[in-house]
A and B are shown apart, each in its own frame.
Chain A
Amino acid sequence: MILRENPVLIRELLVNLRSSRSFLLQLAYVVFLGVVVYFAWPAGEEATNQVSPGVSQRLFNLFFLGQFFLVALVAPTFAAGSITGEKERKTYELLLASPLEPSTILVGKLLSSSTYLVLLIISSLPLMILCFLLGGILLSEIARAYLVLILAAGTFGLISVACSSFFGRTSSALVVSYLVILPLALITVTVTQTDDVVLRDFVSIAVLPPWCIAIWVIVGLLINRRLLFPPDVGSEGKEVIDEEEEMKYAVGVVIDRELFPDMLFAPAKRTDLMPDGTNPVLDKELRSEIFSQGTLMLRLVIQVSMFLSIPLMAYLLFLRPELTGYYVGYVLMFNLLVGPVFSSGSITQERERKTLGLLLTTLLKPGTIVIAKLLASARVSTVLTFLLTEQLLLAYILIPELRDRWWTLLIFLSLIAATCVTTTTVGLLCSALSRRTAVAMVVTYLALLALFIGPVGLVWYLQGYTALSEERLASLTITSPFAAAMSIPIPSSDDGQPYTPSFLGSTALDLSIGSKTLSVPIWVAYLAMTPVIVVVLNVLTYLAFRWRWWRAGMSI
């Protein structure tokens, strides 16, 4: 029953796999990997010579890391919506009231959401084997890599299904899954990619599988319980959450809207009418809707991100201050994960909750609505992200190396602020262009990945195979805040030399003005580019909203 004749599994597999979209996505994926291998393939004179093992090893690492992060990123997008989607479509109660056992539902949801991912991973195997032909990699190495990938797909998928069963909205489930998966992914990469071959194999084969199985069992039991005894969700499956009531039972961080810093992202509810000239949409988003699903999601986000930041702060800021850029990288990564959650659903949700018709027939201009959505989501994501910069401030006060270069703090903070605005803007544009929140969110993540992480990966890949100068390569990374953060020089406490990550090559790019060539640090280019990108994207969002919804009235 659980595997064969599982109606949940069969239905979802049919819907997911028979669409031409899934075929095209797989095709694009394999073609993309093929192109990567094609350009890296030794040609000409090189081909006749012995290929250095470095080339294939590098390609292999790139493949593994790329696919691992793909798994970490994509598994939640498939799985986090699996049960919340039922709740949002109001089919959850139908499913629970059916004689299906919770385990059947769970296995159906998990397998259907991870099958496609596993299919993608396996379809890259032939290309991986090509690298094996180049020499320098053992077959066992490849088998080990795929074992780790498949374990990761299963674990991350299951964690996301668990989040999905505990939250009411896909967006909340998604962001919490990401925050739980982020540290797990970082730890797994660290222990399975060390240079110590023995340790690497031991961890991958003897440690990881039992741990994963243990996690599967515990999480599986939790979900099973949750599905068997669902909480009372009230009529029409909608929970009405009383904030004050919830606060009484809150564990850990308590959000108080009257106090700093909570009032920055969640101003207190009004007790009287709005003053004249208020943007009603903005007011509604910040004061009413932010905690509509309870404060659980935001409290979890704050607590998990703070908890993670402590060991990172200790190592990256206090022990090795030259790695400050990496700590900022963590803050940026947090924003990359959390930012889109607030913006990418803001327009699609009006449609999904059937309030768009009410909103569009008022006298509000499209600009007012778009600006309100932008400001509300930018405010929440920026405040949450800046909560993580207090560690940075502390380090700049306490550590002499950093204190001497206090101006770099300002650059870091501007980088973070610029990134917050970018993630929100991209999310809002995707929300204006999509019909469903889930689609908007996935597209947002992919777009941000292409803007922020893609260029760094590309430079790293190209370094080995191109005759282009490092400065030329660096110009590819102007859209990446990660590259910008790493390009800010902080001298090491040991030798006084600034630390430059190997994958970046140069920290400056060449800008030719007339006959003169100017060397511009990446961060300068990034800070100069961001306002332009943000303005363009916002204009596009306005136009998209105006023409798709406000004016043309797509069937809502």
Chain B
Amino acid sequence: MIEVRNFTKRYGDFVAVDDLSFSIGEGEIFGFIGPNGAGKSTTIRFLATLLRPSSGEGYIAGHSVVEDPMAVRKVIGFMPDDFGVYDGMKVWEFLDFFAVAYKIPRSSRKKIIAEVLELLDLTHKRDDYVNGLSKGMKQRLCLAKTLVHDPPVLILDEPASGLDPRARAEMKALLTELRSMGKTILVSSHILPELADFVTSIGIIERGKLLAAGSVQEIQRQLRAHRRLQIRILDSDLAHAEAILRADDKVRDITGYDHTLTAEVDGGDTEMARLLQHLIGSGVSVQSFAEVEMTLDEVFMTVTKGIVN
């Protein structure tokens, strides 16, 4: 449904996005993850036909983003990360404005506006001025706006940013509901756990490069190839053990506290076994050797840091 091929965007010498390629199948929710300034918004603006690429191509529902922006605009609903609203307009007028802009005939407009207001739980705000709405309400209104022409593809740039926990949970529920309506959704965030439990596939981007892309399970497996170790060692061998770990190129970020060493290990079970064997073989008195459970977020942080640095 969405395909990006070798998308590159340069601003002078600065490369904002570097040779990005990925594709999203129909009916998927694709989570686009990366820290601030990674190039998420640039890619999203490119897909929303608002940005000309330095090179590369993009296709949405078979239409070229560059060659045929009008056809693309018909099939996408776009929500920017930072948007404004018109002054002096009421909520229903705002939606009517965009409905007319999407050429929806008057006969069906009334019903559609009532439906999206209902879907986003905004019916009670129908006659409020849009510039008087709270941030969360504005986010919902903007999402309502992207739905008025019932597009099969939704491109949402950080729809949950700046929302309180309850509103975040509601936004998640809403996206899941939209997916059940058969829509393909590209949603970005700088926080992985926020997306991990409802997206079907993930792309991780940092400094303009795609680090990993695939289904959630796949990515999690990739991320799980990275462990955090906690080793308790008898006092006398502490220095020796630390020296061994430091000499090992699969081990990073070693910290010592009391007589416990903590370290990050690139690799899976075999790597761990090898390390334990190596320590014991070198005569270190290992008291305990255990893997520490990491949250998805922590793994994400260490992985991205590892790859970029």
Which of A238, A273, A360 touches B50 (beta carbons < 8 Å)?
A360
Which of A240, A270, A293 touches B129 (beta carbons < 8 Å)?
A240
Assess whether A273 is in contact with B96, with CB atoms less than 8 Å apart. yes
Assess whether A363 is in contact with B103, with CB atoms less than 8 Å apart. yes
A4 within 8 A of B: no
B271 within 8 A of A: no
Q: Which residues 227-276 of A sit at the B interface, judged by CB distance below 8 A?
A: 234-235, 238, 240-242, 269-270, 273-276
Q: Which residues 128-142 of B sit at the A interface, judged by CB distance below 8 A?
A: 129, 131-132, 134, 142
B283 within 8 A of A: no
A1 within 8 A of B: no
* B50 contact set on A, CB distance < 8 A: 357, 360-361, 553, 556
Q: Chain A residue with minimal CB distance to B103?
A: A363
Q: Chain A residue with minimal CB distance to B132?
A: A240
Least CB distance, B11 to chain A, in whole angstroms: 8
Assess whether A240 is in contact with B106, with CB atoms less than 8 Å apart. no
B252 within 8 A of A: no
Least CB distance, A388 to chain B, in whole angstroms: 26
A359 within 8 A of B: yes
Given contacts A273-B109, A276-B105, A556-B50, is CB(A284)–CB(B73) below 8 Å?
Answer: no
**Cα–Cα distance between A3 and B52 once the two chains are bound (Å):** 48
B126 within 8 A of A: no
* A553 contact set on B, CB distance < 8 A: 45, 49-52
* B103 contact set on A, CB distance < 8 A: 363
Q: Chain A residue with minimal CB distance to B76?
A: A361
Given contacts A363-B103, A364-B101, is CB(A288)–CB(B86) below 8 Å?
Answer: yes
Assess whether A363 is in contact with B101, with CB atoms less than 8 Å apart. yes
**Cα–Cα distance between A94 and B45 once the two chains are bound (Å):** 31
Q: Chain B residue with minimal CB distance to A549?
A: B50
Least CB distance, B179 to chain A, in whole angstroms: 21
A18 within 8 A of B: no
B244 within 8 A of A: no
Assess whether B97 is in contact with A361, with CB atoms less than 8 Å apart. no
Least CB distance, A499 to chain B, in whole angstroms: 47
Given contacts A234-B132, A274-B106, A364-B101, is CB(A358)–CB(B96) below 8 Å?
Answer: no
Assess whether A280 is in contact with B145, with CB atoms less than 8 Å apart. no
Assess whether B98 is in contact with A362, with CB atoms less than 8 Å apart. yes
Which of B78, B129, B134 touches A361 (beta carbons < 8 Å)?
B78
Least CB distance, B130 to chain A, in whole angstroms: 9
**Cα–Cα distance between A494 and B128 once the two chains are bound (Å):** 63
B83 within 8 A of A: yes
Assess whether B78 is in contact with A274, with CB atoms less than 8 Å apart. no
B87 within 8 A of A: yes
**Cα–Cα distance between A86 and B88 once the two chains are bound (Å):** 21
B100 within 8 A of A: yes
B48 within 8 A of A: yes
Assess whether A354 is in contact with B84, with CB atoms less than 8 Å apart. yes
User: Interface residues of A toward B: which range?
Assistant: 35 or more
* B129 contact set on A, CB distance < 8 A: 240, 242
Given contacts A240-B129, A273-B109, is CB(A289)–CB(B52) below 8 Å?
Answer: no
A552 within 8 A of B: yes
A516 within 8 A of B: no
Assess whether B98 is in contact with A358, with CB atoms less than 8 Å apart. yes
* B131 contact set on A, CB distance < 8 A: 238, 240, 292
Q: Which residues 88-106 of B sit at the A interface, judged by CB distance below 8 A?
A: 88-89, 93, 96-98, 100-103, 105-106
**Cα–Cα distance between A207 and B98 once the two chains are bound (Å):** 58
**Cα–Cα distance between A184 and B52 once the two chains are bound (Å):** 50
B80 within 8 A of A: yes
Least CB distance, B269 to chain A, in whole angstroms: 47
Q: Chain B residue with minimal CB distance to A368?
A: B101
B74 within 8 A of A: yes
Q: Chain A residue with minimal CB distance to B105?
A: A276
* B48 contact set on A, CB distance < 8 A: 357, 361
A278 within 8 A of B: yes
Q: Chain B residue with minimal CB distance to A276?
A: B106
**Cα–Cα distance between A289 and B109 once the two chains are bound (Å):** 22
Contacts between the two chains (Cβ within 8 Å), count: 104
Q: Chain B residue with minimal CB distance to A168?
A: B87
Interface centre among B48, B52, B87, B93 (most CB of A within 10 A): B87
Assess whether A289 is in contact with B76, with CB atoms less than 8 Å apart. no
* A293 contact set on B, CB distance < 8 A: 87
* B110 contact set on A, CB distance < 8 A: 273
Assess whether A275 is in contact with B106, with CB atoms less than 8 Å apart. yes
* B80 contact set on A, CB distance < 8 A: 354, 357-358
B85 within 8 A of A: yes
A555 within 8 A of B: yes
Assess whether B86 is in contact with A363, with CB atoms less than 8 Å apart. no
**Cα–Cα distance between A359 and B80 once the two chains are bound (Å):** 11
Q: Which residues 156-199 of B sit at the A interface, judged by CB distance below 8 A?
A: none
Q: Which residues 338-384 of A sit at the B interface, judged by CB distance below 8 A?
A: 353-355, 357-364
Q: Which residues 512-556 of A sit at the B interface, judged by CB distance below 8 A?
A: 551-553, 555-556
B70 within 8 A of A: yes
Given contacts A240-B131, A357-B80, is CB(A362)–CB(B101) below 8 Å?
Answer: yes
A291 within 8 A of B: yes
B82 within 8 A of A: yes
Assess whether B49 is in contact with A274, with CB atoms less than 8 Å apart. no
Which of B106, B134, B145 touches A358 (beta carbons < 8 Å)?
B145
Assess whether B101 is in contact with A280, with CB atoms less than 8 Å apart. yes
* B98 contact set on A, CB distance < 8 A: 280, 358, 362
Q: Chain A residue with minimal CB distance to B155?
A: A361
**Would you give the 0/1 interface string for A268-309, flagging 1 where the beta carbon is closer than 8 Å to chain B?**
011001111010110110001111110000000000000000
Assess whether B102 is in contact with A362, with CB atoms less than 8 Å apart. yes
Least CB distance, A490 to chain B, in whole angstroms: 44
Assess whether B88 is in contact with A289, with CB atoms less than 8 Å apart. yes
* A275 contact set on B, CB distance < 8 A: 106
Which of A292, A357, A364 touches B87 (beta carbons < 8 Å)?
A292
Assess whether A284 is in contact with B89, with CB atoms less than 8 Å apart. yes
**Cα–Cα distance between A124 and B294 once the two chains are bound (Å):** 71
Which of A290, A361, A551 touches B73 (beta carbons < 8 Å)?
A361
20 sample A-B contacts, Cβ–Cβ < 8 Å, listed by A number: A240-B132, A242-B129, A273-B109, A274-B97, A280-B96, A280-B97, A281-B101, A283-B100, A288-B86, A292-B86, A355-B83, A357-B45, A357-B48, A358-B80, A358-B145, A361-B49, A363-B70, A551-B69, A553-B45, A553-B51
Give 16 new A-B contacts, CB below 8 A, not counting A276-B106, A358-B83, A553-B52: A270-B93, A273-B109, A273-B113, A280-B97, A284-B93, A288-B87, A290-B88, A354-B80, A354-B84, A358-B98, A360-B49, A361-B48, A362-B98, A363-B74, A363-B103, A553-B49
- Interface set of B (CB-CB < 8 Å, partner A): 45, 48-52, 69-70, 73-74, 76, 78, 80, 82-89, 93, 96-98, 100-103, 105-106, 109-110, 113, 129, 131-132, 134, 142, 145
